[in-house]
Amino acid sequence: MNIVVVIRQVPDLIEPLEVDSSGRSLDLGSASFIVNESDDHALEQAILLKEGHGAKVTVVALDFGDVDNTLYAAAAKGADQIVKLPLDGDPPPPAAAAAMLAEAIKPLGGDLVLVGVQAHDELDGVLAPLLASELGLPYVGVIRGVKPGADAGTVVVCKEFPGAVMARLSVRLPAVLGILGAEQAPRYVPVSRIRAAMKSTQFEERSVAAPAVAPLVSIRRLYPPAPSARAEMLAGSESEVAARIAAILREKGLVK
């Protein structure tokens, strides 16, 4: 099986997010970046398929943020090929990103394209289904777990529904899957193996043109939500706050 995985960088929500001077965009210059969590799961799912059933895994990423470190980590985990797409400026919106990624992915001839089901900074589109559309492939997302199907050229996937219910679907390849979670948590890679990968891994850089996609929506304003007006904040040392919470729970009859 020939698996292509798309990996993105997103602002780390541990750090405060800022709005730029236009008031309509995130100030990416002040943000730090991490790998998009569900993309990391997509990579883990691809590596699991490779280990269990044999596959070639190619990782494709737009060159933004801290992507080099993420790609070296992907190589250390077992990715066979890394394709990096140079980017001029900030990452494009999902529709344009999908067009650029599709141009790079088409020649790779993947049977299965795995993409994280969402990124927290998507506002006017969702990359995974847009990429499927650009590639002319079927798509299903919110997937937790992929296995080869009984019939050649198929996989069986679990789509997550409320109430810890899964739907088992069969997917005829080629297809794009939006991964929510891999069958196991993304593996930890020791720094020593990442350093080794930095010495042994060559990225393939492929230039793809950013499409002239006219935006279909206009962002009028970005702003952080107003501070909570609801929660009563309890302050003090751990023991003081703990005593206060215990008292509240006793007042409400929730503990004796």
Considering only residues 28 to 87 of the shown chain, the ones binding other proteins according to CB under 8 A are 37, 41
Per CB under 8 A, 16 contacts other proteins: yes
Residue 158's alpha-carbon distances to 147, 184, 189, 192, 199, in angstroms, are 9, 14, 27, 35, 37
Dihedral sign computed on CA atoms, order 45, 50, 56, 59: positive
* DSSP symbol at 95: H
**Which of residues 4, 129, 135, 197 is near other proteins by CB under 8 A?**
129
Query: Which listed residue (30, 32, 106, 123) binds other proteins by CB under 8 A?
Result: 123
Written in H, E and C, the secondary structure of 31-66 is CCEEECHHHHHHHHHHHHHHHHHCCEEEEEEECCCC
Token representation of residue 104: 């790079």
Tell me if 221 contacts other proteins by CB under 8 A.
yes
103 belongs to the binding site for other proteins (CB under 8 A)? no
Q: Is 106 in the site for other proteins (CB under 8 A)?
A: no
Q: Which is nearer to other proteins, 52 or 219 (CB)?
A: 219
Contact 126, 139 (CB under 8 A): no
Give the shortest CB-26-to-other proteins separation in angstroms: 7
Burial status of residue 190 (CB atoms within 10 A of its CB: 0-12, 13-18, 19 or more)? exposed
Q: Does 22 bind other proteins (CB under 8 A)?
A: no
Residue closer to other proteins by CB (options 187, 193) is 187
Q: Which of residues 182-201 bind other proteins (CB under 8 A)?
A: 184-185
254 binds other proteins (CB under 8 A): yes
Residue 82 per-residue DSSP state: E
> What is the per-residue binding string for other proteins in 147-166, x denoting contact by CB under 8 A?
---------x-xxxxxxxxx
Which residue lies nearer to other proteins by CB, 86 or 242?
242
Q: Does 8 bind other proteins (CB under 8 A)?
A: no
| Segment near other proteins (CB under 8 A); pick from 9-17, 51-59, 106-114, 203-211 | 9-17
> Could you tell me which residues are beta bridge partners of residue 180?
none
